[in-house]
Amino acid sequence: MWTVSGSARATTPRRVAMLSVHTSPLDQPGTGDAGGMNVYVAELAKQLARLDVEVEIFTRATTSELPPVVEVAPGVHVRHVMAGPYGDLSKADLAAQLCAFATGVLRAEAGRKPGWYDVVHSHYWLSGQVGWLATDRWGVPLVHSMHTMAKVKNLALAAGDVPEPRAREVGEEQVVDAAHRIVANTDDEARQLSVLYGADPDKVATVRPGVDLSVFTPGSRRAARAALGLGHDDVVLLFAGRIQPLKAPDVLVRAAARLVAEAPALRTRLVVPIVGGPSGTGMDRPGELMRLARELRVDDVVEFYPPVDQPTLAQWYRAADLTVVPSYSESFGLVALESQACGTPVVASAVGGLRTAVRDDHSGLLVDGHDPVVWSRALGSLVTDAARLRRLRAGAARHAASFGWETTAARTLEVYAEACERRRAQLFAEVMCP
């Protein structure tokens, strides 16, 4: 139902169809295609529900073990749409299943009263293609979140990584043109949408992602280390996330090798946990990072752990001296925000959304480029300066405290209302000037 209130006569949606074709909010982040977007979709939906907005999340069915509809929170349901065989499909293969997925989405709406959904919010370009069709059929606005952009990734490829195909770039351009509103995580992403994709600046809205401040909280470093089997005086440099060239975990491994080469005594205390699983082009060489650690003779320092749930991940953040995020590109970087919310500073690449997620020399450090020599110096300068590290820990917690999901959801709801007004004006113009 659309409601009009206040002098601005804002249209407030009450039912949202959220599309997440290639990954489900029920999937474990940190492996395959599951990552920050999963967290984003799930947390945004929950907070919208708390604002009395019903959210149905459409995603592809990958197993017969889950029912067609799963309630993940009051007012939030995940619908599993049959589109292709069960099991994981690469993003390249998913493009062939968009017609089947769109059919499932349209059928779900057909079983409702006319005008059931007020807004479609698509996540990632594959979902945007389906959302484009659904909104055209239903006469409601399309709000789109890119999450990552092919043109941005292709401008900052890791050595040996495979560029995103031209077909994806074209698909993204189409979705940007079709959407009534586009959600950018940062002002930098908003600028990229305009410069690289020709997006009308007036329909791009910057909405910062949030962090679950009830899960990711400061706590006892000693207790967290004891729970994870780490020594209380270890020097812990954490990488958390998907293992793929884009995320550049090899930069941390190479930097760790330089640290122990320059300070051999550090070897007995240095621990580099890699918490996550292979993803993307990293699936082609799943053991590459382990081989690199052996070649650099730091396989006694680098330790590999599978993806973990959020409470356990929070323990890893609390246990670490620093969380390292050396990505080549990031639309935002939720890992950086989660770590800081736990009171652990972040050393991150000075790229994309990380320049917003991390406040340089206040909640962590931003590093230009991916030279392991530069990274080892940055990391070494912090782990040997206890006073500076304490200052950054306090700054990290303060910085992250302003990124609650409640704020993200409230601003997103405003964007939905703006999209409804834009769509209504568009429909009026079509009627008046056919």
Binding residues for 1D-myo-inositol 3-phosphate: 22, 33-38, 91, 124, 148, 168
Range 31-58 burial, b when 16+ CB lie within 10 A, else e: bbbbbbbbbbbbbbbbbbbeeebbbbbb
- Sole residue written with tokens 């295609």: 33
Cβ proximity of 247 and 327 under 8 Å: yes
Element (H, E) at 108: helix 98-110
Annotated binding site for Mg(2+): 317-318, 320, 344
Strand partners for 78:
57, 70
Backbone angles phi, psi at 170, to 5 degrees: -65, -45
Q: How many helices (H) and strands (E) does the chain have?
A: 16, 16
Q: How many CA atoms lie within 13 A of 273 on its CB side?
A: 26
Tell me the Ramachandran region of residue 32: left when phi exceeds 0, alpha when psi lies from -120 to 50, beta otherwise: left
CB atoms within 10 A of CB 399: 22
Annotated binding site for UDP-N-acetyl-alpha-D-glucosamine: 28-29, 36, 242, 247, 308, 330, 338
Rounded (10°) angle between helices 372-383 and 386-400 = 100
What is the Cα–Cα distance from 44 to 407, expressed in whole angstroms?
Answer: 10
Annotated binding site: 22, 28-29, 33-38, 91, 124, 148, 168, 242, 247, 308, 317-318, 320, 330, 338, 344
DSSP 328: S
